[in-house]
Amino acid sequence: MFTLRDVGMRYNGCQVLRSVRLDLAGAGMVSVIGPNGAGKSTLLGIMAGLRPHYQGRCAYKEREVSRWPRRAFAREVSFVPQSVRLEFPFTADQVVMMGRTPHCDGLFESPRDREEVERAMGITDTLAFRGRDFRALSGGEKQRVILASVLAQEPRVMLLDEPVAGMSAEEREATGELLRRISPERTVVVIEHDMDFVRRFADVVTVLHAGKVIAEGTAAEIRADAEVQRVYLGDTVAGVTETSAGTEEDA
């Protein structure tokens, strides 16, 4: 699916990513962890085709992401940033319908579009408030609606930057279970700080430190990795305790 070779990125003369090598070969949930400023959000932005001035190679299906037609790429890969703000009074189901944009052929939605919206809202348990103003929803409800919009997009790869940030423990649990249910059908890449969430739901963990990948493996393998222990020590991984849920600066 994705092949990254020697990927780097500089901001204002500062090397944020350096020589990143990564392969995403099939379905499953991959969690990218690391301290603030490690380059996690930048990495996802490059994979989403939103950071064009990178060094190295970032290819999706053997084609450089910068060479993909945007509409075709959007049918394959979805991206959700750390926060989504809408200033207009869209209802929840209208927000989910926005996920169908890459598939729309005219001004109005098709029966297939409506079917996919219904299906996605059913999977995410958001049908009950489909007619409510998105801005009036709780943080967890908004996140579920955004995930429904992503599912309606029918992507093969989902790139999610801290999708459970700001959720209650119950909402995080439900979202983790949701992502685990849908991950056998697609590749789900999640940036996350909560190590308990990562241990429970991720199939593979990639650790970034100072812009480089320093370890990959299962959560258990990561915790036992000598390089990770050397960098982070103790019972923390990526500078984050098991219960914390910080946010990353976009660097």
pLDDT in the model for residue 232: 64
- The residues spanned by each domain of the chain are 2-232
Phi, psi of 145 (to 5 degrees): -65, -40
- Whether the Cβ atoms of residue 117 and residue 97 lie closer than 8 Å to each other: yes
Domain 2-232: CATH architecture, name and number where available: 3-Layer(aba) Sandwich (3.40)
Please say if the pLDDT value at position 230 is more than 80: no
As a whole number of angstroms, the distance between CA 188 and CA 158 comes to 5
> Average pLDDT for residues 136-164, to the nearest whole number?
93
Q: Over the stretch 17-58, which tens digit does the pLDDT of each residue have?
A: 999 999 998 889 999 998 888 899 999 999 999 998 899 999
pLDDT in the model for residue 159: 97
Residue 45, classed as helix, strand or coil, is: helix
Q: Over the stretch 167-215, which tens digit does the pLDDT of each residue have?
A: 888 888 989 999 999 999 999 999 988 888 999 999 999 999 989 999 9
As a whole number of angstroms, the distance between CA 66 and CA 46 comes to 9
pLDDT in the model for residue 46: 97
